[in-house]
Structure formats: structure tokens, C-alpha cells
């Protein structure tokens, strides 16, 4: 009985906090000119009130082009890590950040 309660609680916790946010730069073009897609974890602490990671530098992720979309979400692996660590207390809240870049014909200086 205790195992069922524990597994149910973990499943409930993992499914209730899933959000997905998209930041789009302009209107997506119909031509597929995607040049780069990068992904990294972003770390938040203490009920996600404090950021532990630096802000995502889009010029670092897209050196040869322009960013098209930034997508931030809680992945399954983020949720599992969060549940395991937060058994001790409300300490760590990781999220995944993906940056999609597009090729541009020239880059202004």
C-alpha cells in the first residue's frame, strides 16, 4: 500500500508542473533554413524563486545567424531529477531550454 501511494505521489508531482513556453522572433518562414538547434538545462532554486544559471546568451547559441525560437519546458528527465532531489526539501527546479537558429544571408555589424 505504501509503495502505491509513493508511486502515485511521484506520478502526480511529475504531471502537475509541466509547462511549455515558446518565445518566437518574428513570423516563422515557410522555407526550412534552420541551421542550429541547441539544448541545455537551466537551474532554479528555492521554489524556483532564484535562478542558478546565467541567462541564455542567444548570440552565443546563434553566432552565424538569428534566433528564431526559444523553447523552455520541463522534460521527463527534469521532472525525475527534481522529484529525487526535492525529497529532502524544495531545493532544485531544473528546466530544459532549446534555442533554434536560422541562417541569414548576411549579418549586420
Residue 97 confidence (pLDDT): 94
Q: Is the pTM of this model over 0.75?
A: no
Residue 15 confidence (pLDDT): 64
CB 49 within 8 A of CB 77: no
Which pairs from 21-30 meet CB under 8 Å and 24+ separation? 21/71, 21/72, 21/73, 22/69, 22/70, 22/71, 23/69, 23/70, 23/71, 23/72, 24/68, 24/69, 25/66, 25/67, 25/68, 25/69, 26/68, 28/68, 28/69, 29/102
- The residue extents of the domains of the chain are 2-103
In order along the chain (109 residues), what is the average pLDDT of each group of 10 residues? 80 69 76 73 88 90 84 88 85 91 65
Residue 12 confidence (pLDDT): 72
Amino acid at each position: 500500500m505504501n509503495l502505491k501511494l509513493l508511486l502515485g505521489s511521484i506520478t502526480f508531482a511529475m504531471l502537475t508542473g509541466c509547462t511549455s513556453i515558446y518565445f518566437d522572433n518574428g513570423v516563422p518562414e515557410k522555407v526550412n533554413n534552420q541551421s542550429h538547434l541547441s539544448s541545455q538545462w537551466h537551474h532554479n532554486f528555492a521554489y524556483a524563486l532564484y535562478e542558478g544559471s546565467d541567462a541564455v546568451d542567444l548570440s552565443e547559441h546563434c553566432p552565424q545567424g538569428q534566433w528564431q525560437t526559444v523553447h523552455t519546458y520541463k522534460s521527463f528527465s527534469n521532472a525525475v531529477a527534481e522529484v529525487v532531489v526535492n525529497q529532502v526539501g524544495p531545493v532544485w527546479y531544473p528546466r530544459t531550454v532549446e534555442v533554434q537558429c536560422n541562417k541569414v544571408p548576411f549579418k549586420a555589424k
